[in-house]
Amino acid sequence: MKRLLLSAALLLAAVAAQADALDTLRGFVADVKTGRAAFTQTVTSPDGAKKKSSTGSFEFSRPNRFRFDYTKPYAQQIVSDGDKVWLHDVDLNQVTVRSAAAAIGATPAALLAGSAIDKDFELKALPDEGGLQWAQALPRGTEGSFKSLKIGFRAGTLAAVEIVDAFGQRSRLDFGTFEANPALAAERFRFTPPAGADVIAQ
DSSP string, 70-86: EEESS-EEEEEESSEEE
Cβ contacts of residue 3 below 8 Å, gap of 6+?
none
| Res 9 pLDDT > 50 | no
Cis amide leading into 73 (omega within 30): yes
89-119 pLDDT, tens digit each: 999 999 999 998 877 765 777 778 877 788 8
Per-residue pLDDT band at 20 (split at 50, 70, 90)? confident
26-52 pLDDT, tens digit each: 999 999 999 999 999 999 999 988 899
Whole-number Å distance between alpha carbons of 73 and 55? 7
* pLDDT number for residue 112: 84
* pLDDT number for residue 106: 58
Total Cβ atoms within 10 A of residue 33: 16
Whole-number Å distance between alpha carbons of 178 and 38? 8
How much is the pTM? 0.83
C-alpha distance from residue 202 to each of 96, 99, 183, 194 (Å): 7, 8, 32, 18
Q: Is 97 helix (H, G, I), strand (E, B) or coil?
A: strand
Q: Per-residue pLDDT averaged across 52-76, rounded?
A: 94
Q: Which helix (H) or strand (E) holds 9?
A: helix 2-31
CATH code assigned at 106: 2.50.20.10
* pLDDT number for residue 115: 72
Specify the long-range contacts of residues 43-48, CB closer than 8 Å, at least 24 apart: 43/169, 43/170, 43/171, 44/169, 44/170, 44/171, 44/172, 45/169, 46/167, 46/168, 46/169, 46/170
Whole-number Å distance between alpha carbons of 127 and 14? 8
Distance, CA of 67 to chain centre? 12
123-153 pLDDT, tens digit each: 999 999 999 999 998 887 766 567 888 999 9
Total domains in the fold of the chain: 1
Give burial (CB, 10 Å; 0-12/13-18/19+) of 91.
Answer: exposed
Q: Residue 141: which domain range?
A: 2-201
